[in-house]
């Protein structure tokens, strides 16, 4: 009887303080989780990058009680300001694109450089303020030294006018480099390299040498590399409008061709193989470039592919040009130079070509490539 009475009292008390009990329980659970987690979020460190002088900064000035780890370098501190001076030029107009006759942008939003699509004055100012130095690489091995005089003379007139330039001349005959005066801020740098018996090997080995020198030397001396053939001449301005992370040039023989007509390597056994349903443009092997780091990556990859083919006794149809084309299928260039930047006068003067900036110099292939003592002219 007494037990029944006690049970009824407990039940009564429980129903009276039920809400309080549940509330207390909730508080206990919340408190438990808060205790468990506060250690981790309060003590969380924010890693920030510190500047090259290793300045220590706490972006929140201790307001949140967050400890800042101070062992990294802040690249955001003390960046140079690139600000244009007052410049007067006609404004860009949304409904008046400067060129409607040619493609000026790829599907991956890389600009294709044509006359009329850029303002060189603005670009010059931007690159000058960054004190950009450009390395122009050219190989003149064996008899190709005969092209150097015209190449360098025209480069002095048209290439990167007003900017700092280093002409890196890879040759097996440094004594044959013409003794020329170059403008202030420009310099001829002879680089002695070995030659090879076959012209195809010389052409392909350029990838190996460029990759090696990029890592060993160019990275310390220049910002961008422009890599071209020797049997060429500049015939109009080629300036900083071409510079970008990594750029290629549309081959003048294939600008209007369909994919299937591109002379890509089609043997699936080669590292340069490109299937018939892939590829954007046919790029020429004689004009590409970019930042030293990107050119290093590109040339290293192409050289490794060339060597892999060699181990299978294969040589791609257009040598290093085939490997360059393969590279650009899977590493899209960030800028593309139109055929203005590589033209052959044998192809005439189509309407869309407002300027011919870089031209092939006609040569007697058999004479220049192989027979050491034949007459070159
Ligand atoms: C095309 C490409 C070239 C390359 C080659 C591969 C054009 C304008 N050029 O040129 O970039 O892809 O095909 O087959 O489309 N060289 C020497 N000494 C030699 C041989 C070559 O220095 O004995 C250098 C020189 O810089 C020359 C370059 O290698 O310009 C390419 O050789 P090429 O010009 O004889 O090859 P070509 O005209 O077939």
Does residue 345 register a pLDDT over 70?
yes
DSSP 329: H
Catalytic sites, residue numbers: 321
- pLDDT band at residue 374 under the 50/70/90 scheme: very low
**Tell me, what's the pLDDT at 77?**
86
Ligand 1 centroid from CA 286, angstroms: 7
For the chain, give the percent of residues with pLDDT over 90: 74
- Determine if ligand 1 sits within 6 Å of the CB of residue 286: yes
What are the start-end ranges of the H helices in the chain?
2-42, 120-129, 148-158, 199-213, 219-221, 292-311, 319-330, 365-369
Q: Is 61 assigned to a binding site?
A: no
Q: Is residue 374 part of a domain?
A: no
Q: Is 188 assigned to a binding site?
A: no
**Tell me, what's the pLDDT at 43?**
39
Cβ neighbours of 36 (radius 10 Å)? 9
Ligand 1, atom 4: nearest CA belongs to which residue?
285
Average pLDDT over residues 218-238: 98
**Tell me, what's the pLDDT at 367?**
82
Q: Is residue 50 part of a domain?
A: no
What are the pLDDT digits (tens) for 26-76? 787 776 666 655 444 433 433 333 333 333 333 333 334 444 445 566 888
Ligand 1 centroid from CA 141, angstroms: 10
- Determine if ligand 1 sits within 6 Å of the CB of residue 360: yes
**Tell me, what's the pLDDT at 21?**
74
For the chain, give the percent of residues with pLDDT over 70: 82
**Tell me, what's the pLDDT at 9?**
61
Task: Please choose, from the candidates 200, 198, 134, 136, the residue with its C-alpha nearest in 3D space to the C-alpha of residue 162.
Answer: 134
What are the pLDDT digits (tens) for 285-310? 999 999 999 999 999 999 999 999 99
Token pair belonging to 323:
């490997």
- Determine if ligand 1 sits within 6 Å of the CB of residue 202: yes
Q: Is residue 12 part of a domain?
A: no
- Mutation test of ligand 1: which of 145, 198, 229 has the most ligand atoms closer than 8 Å to its C-beta? 229
Helices (H) and strands (E) in the chain, counts: 8, 12
How far is the CA of 50 from the CAs of 44, 45, 64, 71, in angstroms? 18, 14, 19, 8
**Tell me, what's the pLDDT at 117?**
98
Question: Which atom of ligand 1 lies at the shortest distance from residue 365's CA?
Answer: 35
CATH number at residue 255: 3.90.550.10
- pLDDT band at residue 24 under the 50/70/90 scheme: confident
Query: To the nearest whole number, what is the mean pLDDT of the chain?
Result: 87
Average pLDDT over residues 180-205: 96
Ligand 1, atom 12: nearest CA belongs to which residue?
285
- Distance, CA of 120 to CA of 94 (rounded, Å): 20
Average pLDDT over residues 106-125: 98
**Tell me, what's the pLDDT at 35?**
61
- pLDDT band at residue 363 under the 50/70/90 scheme: confident
Q: Is 231 assigned to a binding site?
A: yes
Does residue 15 register a pLDDT over 90?
no
Q: Is residue 14 part of a domain?
A: no
Q: Angle, nearest 10°, between helix axes 292-311 and 199-213?
A: 140
**Tell me, what's the pLDDT at 70?**
52
Ligand 1 centroid from CA 374, angstroms: 18
**What domain range includes position 276?**
112-369
Ligand 1 centroid from CA 102, angstroms: 28
Does residue 87 register a pLDDT over 60?
yes
* Locus of tokens 């013409």: 178
- pLDDT band at residue 282 under the 50/70/90 scheme: very high
Q: Is residue 99 part of a domain?
A: no
Residues 6+ apart with CB under 8 A from 151: 138, 230, 232, 233
Q: Is residue 316 part of a domain?
A: yes
Ligand 1 centroid from CA 20, angstroms: 89
**Tell me, what's the pLDDT at 79?**
84
**Tell me, what's the pLDDT at 244?**
98
Question: Which atom of ligand 1 lies at the shortest distance from residue 140's CA?
Answer: 22
How many domains, the chain? 1
Q: Is 139 assigned to a binding site?
A: yes
Q: Is residue 362 part of a domain?
A: yes
Does residue 368 register a pLDDT over 90?
no
Does residue 104 register a pLDDT over 90?
yes
- Mutation test of ligand 1: which of 203, 204, 325 has the most ligand atoms closer than 8 Å to its C-beta? 203
Q: Is residue 318 part of a domain?
A: yes
């Amino acid at each position: 009887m007494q037990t029944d009475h006690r049970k009824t009292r407990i039940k009564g008390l429980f129903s009276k303080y039920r809400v309080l009990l549940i509330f207390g329980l909730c508080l206990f659970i919340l408190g438990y989780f808060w205790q468990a987690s506060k250690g981790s979020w309060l003590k969380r460190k924010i890693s920030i990058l510190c500047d090259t002088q290793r300045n220590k900064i706490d972006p929140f000035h201790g307001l949140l009680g967050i400890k800042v780890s101070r062992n990294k370098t802040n690249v955001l501190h003390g960046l140079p300001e690139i600000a244009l001076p007052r410049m007067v030029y006609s404004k860009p107009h949304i409904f008046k694109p400067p060129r409607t006759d040619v493609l000026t942008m790829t599907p991956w939003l890389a600009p294709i450089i044509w006359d009329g699509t850029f303002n060189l004055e603005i670009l010059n100012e931007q690159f000058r303020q960054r004190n950009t130095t450009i390395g122009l690489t050219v190989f003149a091995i064996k008899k190709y030294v005969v092209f150097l005089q015209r190449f360098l003379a025209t480069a002095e007139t048209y290439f990167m006018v007003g900017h700092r330039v280093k002409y890196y001349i890879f040759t097996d005959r440094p004594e044959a480099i013409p003794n020329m005066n170059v403008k202030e801020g420009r310099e001829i740098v002879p680089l002695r390299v070995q030659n090879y018996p076959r012209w195809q090997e010389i052409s392909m080995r350029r990838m190996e040498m460029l990759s090696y020198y990029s890592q060993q030397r160019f990275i310390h001396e220049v910002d961008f590399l422009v890599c071209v053939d020797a049997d060429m001449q500049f015939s109009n301005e080629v300036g900083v409008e071409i510079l970008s992370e990594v750029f290629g040039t549309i081959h003048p023989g294939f600008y209007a061709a369909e994919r299937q007509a591109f002379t890509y390597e089609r043997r699936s056994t080669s590292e340069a193989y490109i299937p018939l349903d892939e590829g954007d443009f046919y790029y020429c092997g004689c004009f590409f470039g970019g930042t030293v780091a990107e050119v290093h990556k590109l040339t290293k990859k192409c050289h490794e592919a060339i060597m892999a083919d060699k181990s299978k006794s294969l040589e791609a149809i257009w040598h290093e040009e085939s490997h360059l084309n393969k590279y650009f299928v899977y590493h899209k260039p960030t800028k593309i130079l139109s055929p203005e930047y590589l033209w052959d006068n044998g192809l005439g003067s189509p309407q869309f070509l407002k300027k011919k900036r870089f031209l092939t110099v006609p040569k007697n292939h058999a004479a220049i490539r192989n027979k050491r003592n034949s007459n070159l002219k």
